[in-house]
Amino acid sequence: MAEQSKKSVPFDVMHQRIKRKREDYNRYKFTADQDNILKTFFDLHQELDSLEEFYAIAVLILPHYMDVICRLYLKGDDGVLRLVQASDMEEPLADPAPGQDVAMLSHQGNSLLLPLSLGTPAGKRQAGSGVFEVVSPRSISEQVAFFLEKFSNRIAVALVGKLAAHQNIKHIDFVRNLVMDIEHNIIIPNMYFQHLFNKLRQKIAEMNDLEQQIRAMKAAMGMTGNDSCQKILDKVGSLHNALGDYHQEIEKHHKSSSLFIESLFRREHFTRGELVLRTRKCSVVSEIIAPQLEHFEKRFVNQDVVIEHPVDMQDEHFPLQVDVGLLAQVYANLFSNALKYTEAVVVDGGRYQRKALAYGREFVKNCFGPGVDAVKFNVFTTGHHIAAADADHIFTEGYRGNNVGGQIGHGHGLSFIKQIIEIHGGRVGYEPVLHGNNFWFCLPLSSAEPDV
């Protein structure tokens, strides 16, 4: 294996490159201080992890050896060149940036502008991605300018590596969270399929037994039917209806899971390293809330949870521009939590108990600033209030409150809800209310959306 590795290394090419580098450095004739500048930068940039520390050493090394001021400018996502760090800290970082299209070394008085060519995410070179500025009280000689150009090249190469490393960390964190989303919203809910399949298998087996009984009776008695046969046929009909119901439930579950899979496994999520919305106008009530409630309805009934529908939303259609698949998962998470944590409470002076889930909405004027109204969606469940110490952290990734008891979970559902609502430009919250707990989120109404 080692022999194969040796053969794959182009030693002759590497020897030639090393030889040329040696010859280049002999020809450069850098001073002792200039050599020390390069060595200092090489050592320090490998020791430091954060971009802020890197920016600092990039501008602070030269002033230790030379009477100069250094400034580092980088282009943001909007393509605008901005000052990110300077060695003259007494000057504000809001100083005007140099020309936006610095593509080659240029002199502006005693200021030397050195373009930084950084790599794009696709690995291509992009001229003018940054500028390293050196300001001297005296004119800059050709030899010093040549050295500074080489030094700025070192900054550019090192910065490409730093940016790539930070981007990789961001991607890894995103993929890790996405895997948790898949487990929480796809794998665990799909376990319900197995329960339904087992039920269906039992019913089919029962129908097969009945069919054999009917055949045996017909053969033995030569009769088209009597009371016993009719009872059997009635049972067959009942089983047939039950199978139809199970089929519908499986179909609903599959439809919901398919929607979630589509919204989580988009190629854009992985190429961009973040969730990418596919928004369209939809009726939140009929296209998102109602299907999810229908999906959970039988489980609520089995746990004696009464679903209270708001009267003022039954025939209402207020279209919002949202990602249907992701917003459906918001409600799926809220209803899943409701199944776990809804409790019966004593109401009306102790005359009866109430165990319920309710949902609704209200319009909030100027919620996101003057003229930016919003719709506030609420999901209420009866039960004990969440402790104040927990309430401030429940939307934090991995956090689980003291009220979870033996319920299975990872503390991911509410943080997922927060992420989805915030990328829609909204916000989430929790509030203790009479007889229970209300989880809410606000979505902005754009000026293009009609009044409702």
Alpha helices in 133-223 (DSSP H): 142-182, 188-221
Residue 212 pLDDT: 81
Q: Average of pLDDT values for 378-387? A: 94
Q: Please provide residue 295's backbone torsions phi and psi, each rounded to the nearest 5 degrees.
A: -65, -35
Mean pLDDT is lowest, of 61-70, 207-216, 300-309, 336-345, for: 207-216
Long-range contacts from 142-146, C-beta under 8 angstroms, 24+ separation:
143/29, 144/66, 145/105, 145/107, 145/112, 146/28
Tokens of 303: 């746990």
Using DSSP, state whether 117 is helix, strand or coil: strand
Flag whether pLDDT at 451 surpasses 50.
Answer: no
What single DSSP character describes residue 100? T
d(C-alpha 56, C-alpha 255), whole Å: 53
More reliable by pLDDT, 257 or 134: 134
Contact between 273 and 170 under an 8 Å Cβ cutoff? The reply is yes
Mean pLDDT is lowest, of 36-50, 112-126, 173-187, for: 112-126
More reliable by pLDDT, 361 or 117: 361
d(C-alpha 421, C-alpha 441), whole Å: 7
Flag whether pLDDT at 242 surpasses 60.
Answer: yes
pLDDT band at 306 (very low <50, low <70, confident <90, very high): very high
Flag whether pLDDT at 237 surpasses 60.
Answer: yes
Residue 225 pLDDT: 53
d(C-alpha 3, C-alpha 307), whole Å: 71
Exposed, middle or buried by CB within 10 Å (0-12, 13-18, 19+), for 269? middle
The total number of residues written for the chain in this structure: 452
pLDDT band at 399 (very low <50, low <70, confident <90, very high): low
Question: How are beta strands 125-135 and 280-283 bridged, if at all?
Answer: unpaired
Mean pLDDT is lowest, of 128-142, 217-231, 317-331, for: 217-231
Residue 239 pLDDT: 83
pLDDT tens-digit profile of 362-375?
999 999 989 888 99
Contact between 374 and 445 under an 8 Å Cβ cutoff? The reply is yes
Flag whether pLDDT at 95 surpasses 70.
Answer: no
Residue 449 pLDDT: 52
Distance of CA 436 to the CA centre of its chain: 30
pLDDT tens-digit profile of 406-437?
554 455 789 999 999 999 999 999 999 999 99
What single DSSP character describes residue 312? G
Q: Average of pLDDT values for 247-252? A: 81
Q: Please provide residue 24's backbone torsions phi and psi, each rounded to the nearest 5 degrees.
A: -60, -50
d(C-alpha 105, C-alpha 113), whole Å: 6
Q: What is the CATH number of domain 277-452?
A: 3.30.565.10
Residue 6 pLDDT: 46
Q: Enumerate helices (H) and strands (E) in the chain, giving the number of each.
A: 13, 14
Q: How far is CA 125 from CA 83, 119, 160, 168, 271, in A?
A: 21, 5, 10, 18, 19
Q: Hey, which residues does 433 pair with through a beta bridge?
A: 436
Looking at domain 11-170, does it have CATH number 3.30.460.10? no
pLDDT band at 127 (very low <50, low <70, confident <90, very high): very low
Mean pLDDT, the chain, rounded, equals: 82
Contact between 419 and 329 under an 8 Å Cβ cutoff? The reply is no
Q: Average of pLDDT values for 229-249? A: 80
pLDDT tens-digit profile of 137-171?
888 888 999 999 999 999 999 998 888 888 887 77
Ranges of each domain in the chain:
11-170, 277-452
pLDDT band at 450 (very low <50, low <70, confident <90, very high): very low
Residue 35 pLDDT: 92
d(C-alpha 329, C-alpha 182), whole Å: 11
Long-range contacts from 77-86, C-beta under 8 angstroms, 24+ separation:
81/130, 81/131, 84/55, 85/52, 85/55, 85/56, 85/58, 85/59, 86/59
Flag whether pLDDT at 8 surpasses 80.
Answer: no
